[in-house]
Amino acid sequence: MTRICVTDAIPEPSIARLRASGHEVIVHDGPQPPDRAELLTLVEGADAVLTVLSDRVDAEFLEAAGPRLKVVANIAAGHDNIDLAACAARGVVATNTPGVLFDATADLAFGLLLAVTRRLGEGERLIRAGRPWRYRTTFLLGHSIEGKTIGLIGAGQIGTAMARRCRAFRMSIAYAAEHPMREPARTELDAVGMPLDELVASCDVISLHCPLTEGTRHILDAGRIATMRPGAYVINTARGACIDEHALAQALASGRLAGAALDVYENEPEIDPALLGLENVVLAPHLGSANVETRTAMCDLAAENALAVLAGRPAPNALRP
């Protein structure tokens, strides 16, 4: 019987859909994600595996799965956890889930932008700590985003959705990306493309929306952070390693940057202690696509990708090495 392994608990309807196709379905159901040894054991003999971003899919994984493996369907838009060349070398199709999570992730990115510029985290911590407070004219003042410029690093599905939200709040839109923002969004949003260094040095907020690749690892490094405008903000819902987290923490601690709001971390789920102690940082535990509707759509799409390959059809979201 054809076997599909799922490395994390997913919504029941997505599992039912996989089972309805007549395949054996094995779902990791522990309280924690599988550790490496558990993962390699789980995927043994699988024809298809539905993975999540914390599963490293490399030569060792593919070897452990064995010769029956035909498809690895990542339940994520990002696929930096997958060695695409190793998959291709073994004839394994790798897929992701674009097109269903950009609004949810942009919602979170925009929420983080408001949270950090309006000092929501500080206010929440103050109240929960039982510290005394009163309405005062100059108490906990943040900054308005209206009239400011957001600089997007990456202007694909999520970057463009973020730009739409920012424009609705009367921000100006600038971006640096490998390709121009798609039309009609670029014209509608009056989005200005510019070289990365110019973007970083000129915008009031830098928000990351690029994939993690060798070209984007530490794309916001100490050197670029040093060129940012004093009082600027950083938002990261892309991948933690796109930023030199320690350099960011230093710029925030010195007060040169006004704040940062982060959903992703360099050594996730570990967080640099230097960040944890800072008041001007909002920290979210990787919640970009975390709403019921979106996660259901992502799991359904991953299931659809796996089932297509098992049925000998092209996968809707096959990734190219």
Ligand X SMILES: O=C(O)[C@H](O)[C@H](O)COP(=O)(O)O
Ligand Y SMILES: NC(=O)c1ccc[n+]([C@@H]2O[C@H](COP(=O)([O-])OP(=O)(O)OC[C@H]3O[C@@H](n4cnc5c(N)ncnc54)[C@H](O)[C@@H]3O)[C@@H](O)[C@H]2O)c1
**Residue 105 binds to ligand Y (criterion: CB under 6 A):** yes
Q: Which does 159 bind (CB under 5 to 8 A by kind): ligand Y, ligand X, none?
A: ligand Y
Annotated active-site residue in 79, 224, 286, 295: 286
Using the 8-state DSSP alphabet, how is residue 240 labeled? G
**Residue 193 binds to ligand Y (criterion: CB under 6 A):** no
* Helix pair 102-117, 292-310: axis angle to 10 deg: 150
Q: Would residue 122 show up in a list of annotated catalytic residues for this protein?
A: no
Q: Which is nearer to ligand X, 229 or 295 (CB)?
A: 295
Category of 234 on φ-ψ map: left (φ > 0), alpha (ψ -120 to 50) or beta = beta
**Residue 244 binds to ligand Y (criterion: CB under 6 A):** no
- Stretch binding ligand X (CB under 6 A), from 63-71, 136-144, 195-203, 282-290: 282-290
- Site size with ligand X, rule: CB under 6 A: 10
Annotated active-site residue in 119, 239, 245, 295: 239
**Residue 237 binds to ligand Y (criterion: CB under 6 A):** yes
- Rule CB under 6 A: choose which of 11, 142, 193, 211 binds ligand Y: 211
Of 71, 81, 108, 85, nearest to 302 (Cα)? 71
Of 229, 231, 181, 238, nearest to 208 (Cα)? 238
**Encoded amino acid at 57, one letter:** V
* CA distances to 136, 221, 237 from 263, in Å: 31, 18, 5
Residues 193-222 that bind ligand X (CB under 6 A): none
- Rule CB under 6 A: choose which of 216, 294, 305, 317 binds ligand Y: 216
How far is the C-alpha of 304 from the C-alpha of 315, rounded, in Å? 8
Residues 99-138 that bind ligand X (CB under 6 A): 101
Q: Would residue 239 show up in a list of annotated catalytic residues for this protein?
A: yes
How many CA atoms, within 13 angstroms, populate the side-chain half-sphere of residue 142?
20
Query: Residue 110: enclosing H or E segment and its boundaries?
Result: helix 102-117
Rg (CA), the chain: 21
Site residues for ligand Y per CB under 6 A:
77-78, 98, 101-102, 105, 153-159, 176-179, 209-212, 215-216, 237-239, 263-264, 286, 288-289
Interface positions with ligand X (CB under 6 A): 53, 76-78, 101, 286-290
Give catalytic residues, as residue numbers.
239, 268, 286
